[in-house]
Amino acid sequence: MLCMENVTKTYQLRHQTVVALDNATLDIPEGDFVSLVGPSGSGKSSLLVMLGGMLSPTSGKVLLKGESMYGLDPDGRARLRKANIGFVFQTFNLISYLSAQENVQIPLYLSGHTGVEQQDKAAALLERVGLGDRLDHKPSELSVGQQQRVALARMLANDPAVILADEPTGNLDPETSEQIIGFFEDFNREGRTIVMVTHNPDAAERAKRVLKLRDGKVVDDRASIQSISAA
């Protein structure tokens, strides 16, 4: 499903070369659930956004379903991303003056759905994440955990095969974090491929694989404890 072949990413910062990724190679098959862990600055977020087609490598290839993402022009890459990938961020990125339902409708509107289709599907997705009674609430009228659930519903709007999540529980209390990871497990059971950056060791072990980065290098790639226990 997702593949990196000898990917390096460097930046120039104050006349110095900063290495974000260093010859990273990995394979994430369809239906996998991978957590990315490592210290701050290890390259986790760079790897994630590169898998999402939003950061071109200095060298190497990034493949989605066997197609080289950065071999496409920007429009082609955007179409590939739109058709296959859903994003979840720590900061939610909800539009403050829109209701929960309207926030979820945005990707449906951009995909050309009719107004009725947008409303019906957005309402169904919010019902799925337990917010069927909060359709008209704006982000400021929702708790932090509820805002993240709106973001999950919006991510599901175009039925992505791949979910890329950057610290999805980073701003949440333990109980709400547990709930959000439970949703990710549900999405994975449906066959979606998930790559999740996290600093939370408990959340990391809920994935099937734990991939550790240090100084831009993949230094460990192992089955999670939960996955081993279930085998």
Chain mean pLDDT for the chain: 92
Rounded to an integer, what distance in angstroms lies between the CA atom of residue 200 and that of residue 166?
Answer: 12
* Sheet of 209-214, strand order: 85-89, 162-166, 193-197, 33-37, 209-214, 217-223
Q: Are strands 33-37 and 59-64 parallel, antiparallel or unpaired?
A: unpaired
List the CATH code of the domain at 27-55+73-230.
Answer: 3.40.50.300
Beta bridge partners of 178: none
What pLDDT digit, counting tens, does each position of 78-103 carry? 999 989 999 998 888 899 999 999 99
Q: What is the residue extent of each domain of the chain?
A: 27-55+73-230
CB crowding 115-149: b at 16 or more within 10 Å, else e: eeebbebbbebbeebebeebbebbbeebeebbbbb
What pLDDT digit, counting tens, does each position of 26-48 carry? 999 999 999 999 988 888 989 99
